Chains A and B, each alone.
Chain A
């Protein structure tokens, strides 16, 4: 068993080390894999750089999630230009109409129904 682990450590390739770095953040790797990745990173300048890039990406993604404040939601969504292009007046009008319909039918039937899921 330990021979296999040593063999794994010695023969670990960069692409597998890269995968291990990502998966390790979800706690999904074995001890010998973690050791192998660390040793490989110590020996490979490219993988050290790749690990730092991954750190920066993780930091940025966490930052996009932020504290779930209003401004973070805007930052994470509104500024994605390519996705914004799919928002148009047709969609807006459909949403206006659907909401207006719900408001009219709800008012006619006598008021709001409590929704236990959404009490913020």
Chain B
């Protein structure tokens, strides 16, 4: 961890800025990466969050842990980055560009999820379900993943997600539908029984 000769001596109680990157860097990066479309954007958001945290360190009241406080700041930076992206590049996800889905209808009228998938869903314990979902989320393409994470994991209202991503509500729900279909399919392929066609 690089130290400078001008290392500040006075820090807010409970905060250790000199250890922020070492202690929380990878978690903050992972948090941002799950919500942003590239590793570079995630790094930039983490950097902005750390600098903002340093500048507002006096506002840390110690009611939450250092990490929770940093993640809270990072959350604002992530949403700012997404808003800025959709402002600069326009409605990136419009014109039906909600992410192509190879699992989309085959024309038979039978939803892929309808075709089997074992019984992973019947009574999974919380930790296995989390593991399966984490693996599935990793494989989700953009912008499906961002839409799903913001709406379903972070619990941000649909209208706000639309404003952040610059999409219509119809497009948002199309992305979420496709994302969930993919999650269901990938979990079924990995943890379910071999599929058999049904209707």
Q: How many A-B residue pairs have CB under 8 A?
A: 242
Q: Which of A70-119 contact B (CB under 8 A)?
A: 70, 73-84, 86-87, 91-100, 102-104, 106-108, 112-115, 117-119
Q: A65-B154, A104-B6, A118-B56 are in contact. Are A99 and B51 (CB under 8 A)?
A: yes
Complex CA–CA separation, A64 to B148 (angstroms) = 12
Specify which chain B residues have a CB less than 8 angstroms from the CB of A79 in the assembled complex.
131, 134
Interface majority SS (helix, strand, loop, mixed), chain B: helix
How many chain B residues touch A (Cβ–Cβ < 8 Å)? 90
Specify which chain B residues have a CB less than 8 angstroms from the CB of A78 in the assembled complex.
26-27, 30
Residue of B nearest to A55 (CB): B121
- Whether the pair A47, B114 counts as a contact (CB closer than 8 A) is yes
Specify which chain B residues have a CB less than 8 angstroms from the CB of A22 in the assembled complex.
173, 176-177, 180
- Whether the pair B34, A52 counts as a contact (CB closer than 8 A) is no
Residue of B nearest to A19 (CB): B177
Residue of B nearest to A18 (CB): B111
Complex CA–CA separation, A106 to B54 (angstroms) = 9
Q: A53-B184, A106-B55 are in contact. Are A100 and B33 (CB under 8 A)?
A: no
Q: Which of A10-39 contact B (CB under 8 A)?
A: 13-15, 17-19, 22-23, 26, 28
The 4 A-B pairs with the shortest beta carbon distances in the complex, nearest first, are A115-B56, A46-B114, A77-B30, A13-B109
Binding site for A on B (CB under 8 A): 1-4, 6-8, 17, 20-22, 25-27, 29-31, 33-34, 39, 42-43, 46-47, 50-61, 63-65, 67-69, 71-73, 76, 104-105, 109-111, 113-117, 120-122, 124, 126, 129-134, 137-139, 148, 151-155, 158, 169, 173-174, 176-177, 180-181, 183-184, 187-188, 198-199
